[in-house]
Structure 1
């Protein structure tokens, strides 16, 4: 199946926080009926199905946390768990081409999921919270019994923020990580955050004035409170002993030649240099969608981190 890109209009300003506009679907295999696993005392209505989305690879299992549903897709394996977390505006189907390759190459269990507001997960009103998304992911991995083996987290774009809160708020849950052109705390300096907020104000106002779709509501949820949220995010750090591969795209998500693009590259390097067990790799001939343009780079780094993690737990 060929991968299909989803057009973005707030890409630079929101650091690919959400996809706006038309969503072009491509076919993929179906999934089994969901197996509901409640992990909180509250219940919720059935999760909505995004009519424009593509069915994700794997067996669907749904957890309930804090009154909303989160859909997970599990391709069974053994020895380790690889968790793929897509960027803003994408659901689990973003990884469809990579899931069977990783399952075959590594033998590990491969997991994707839909964050709230996308795919088959519930919509949650209010501003997007990366910390709450991290809690959802942790609840799913724990509730589905997926933390009995080492976990390698693979996070693209906005999911880098979710990853940061996950490793900070749920220590020991993840044993290794691959950041794929991901949002890292070092990028969101006060100056850069102010630039991004100013750049998106007019676009966000135009989106709010137009008829709303699920995708635009998700984008606006990220825009709401963007400044304070990223001021707080800038202060966060990662555990220094966690193996991390940092992949940066050659073209970056920012306009070519702009100060933002240079700041993006510098932040990725700064993050990689902040601890001894981190490596930086540039995906040549790649846009921000590294997993679509250079899946070989992503596969290689996942394999390397997984091998390192497996050697440490023997």
Structure 2
């Protein structure tokens, strides 16, 4: 006897593991009214990082996605491709049954852009949170990718030893501390945080996703050259105002998408943690219920 499928789970509150695009993924679902809001974290950013955004959207339909390996699923054993990410997102929007407002952070930004380019009409609004962008992306050499794959496998095996997993958990906290104005090393870890960053599969997936960065950005660059961007798609690019050069690169991204850039001066990279209110304003502005955040 089979359990509920993805179309049922995206309307069922709570935490679920399901299969989308041929991959096992984790969903954190809040049923509600209005168009669905899909929340995508960057590399090593699990769904619970959006908890303040979700809380502010009580009564609205939100679905936060964790890619394979990060939460409650196994790392598939290979470096993820842009095509895989698009396949998973396309099936997610399909089971939602209507175009979604997509909020994509960091490395998930290229995934969301590729979804729009491959499947126009599936996204009704796009919010990019300090999204990854490169002016010129080169695909890595096969030997480099093979070395990264071996590193991911070593991480998977090494993290089975408690001291290694504990050290990785501390490293994760240091990384988060450096990417947020709100969080500090002395803060209590949120529920499930320690579990996520001591799981061997989670740690291996983080290494694998970081390893796949160059290849995925190069594939997106190829896609940009063969597709057009829908002119009627409402989009916002929210940029952490910590570095002038980064703000300029993000403006290039906004120009490419015909989007409005909003520089958030009092936020670092983890914008959904530092300024959830700005993220919520951006989401609601795309459905016509609130003014867009001020630059």
TM-score in terms of structure 1 length: 0.65
Give the 5 Å matches for 1:45-194.
Answer: 58-65=13-20, 67-103=22-58, 107-143=59-95, 146-148=96-98, 150-184=99-133, 187-190=134-137
Q: 1:165 to 1:217 in 2, by over 3 A?
A: same
Q: CA deviation at 1:65?
A: 3.8
Q: What's the CA shift string for 1:61-91, capped at 9, x where partnerless?
A: 4432465422222211122111111111122
Q: 1:303 to 1:35 in 2, by over 3 A?
A: farther
8 Å contact from structure 1 (residues 241, 275) kept in 2: no
Tell me the residue number matched to 1:247: 238
Partners of 2:288 and 2:81 lie apart in 1 by 32
Deviant stretches of 4+, over 4 Å: 200-210
Q: Secondary structure at the match of 2:91?
A: helix
Partners of 1:158 and 1:88 lie apart in 2 by 6
Partners of 1:308 and 1:131 lie apart in 2 by 33
Q: CA deviation at 1:246?
A: 0.4
Q: 1:76 to 1:66 in 2, by over 3 A?
A: closer
Q: 1 or 2, which has the higher helix percentage?
A: 2
Listed as ranges, the gaps of 5+ residues in structure 1 are: 1-33, 40-56, 253-260, 310-314
Q: 1:225 to 1:156 in 2, by over 3 A?
A: closer
Count of matched residue positions in the alignment of Structure 1 and Structure 2: 236
Q: Secondary structure at the match of 2:57?
A: helix
8 Å contact from structure 1 (residues 71, 113) kept in 2: yes
8 Å contact from structure 2 (residues 235, 257) kept in 1: no
Q: CA deviation at 1:236?
A: 3.4
The counterpart of 1:292, out of the listed 266, 273, 280, is 273
Q: 1:87 to 1:229 in 2, by over 3 A?
A: closer
Tell me the residue number matched to 1:235: 222
Q: CA deviation at 1:230?
A: 2.4
The counterpart of 2:260, out of the listed 279, 287, 296, is 279
TM-score in terms of structure 2 length: 0.68
Partners of 2:223 and 2:62 lie apart in 1 by 28
Tell me the residue number matched to 1:18: none
Partners of 1:282 and 1:234 lie apart in 2 by 24
8 Å contact from structure 2 (residues 40, 104) kept in 1: yes
8 Å contact from structure 1 (residues 72, 114) kept in 2: yes
Q: CA deviation at 1:234?
A: 2.4
8 Å contact from structure 1 (residues 72, 140) kept in 2: no
Q: 1:122 to 1:275 in 2, by over 3 A?
A: same
Q: Secondary structure at the match of 1:64?
A: strand
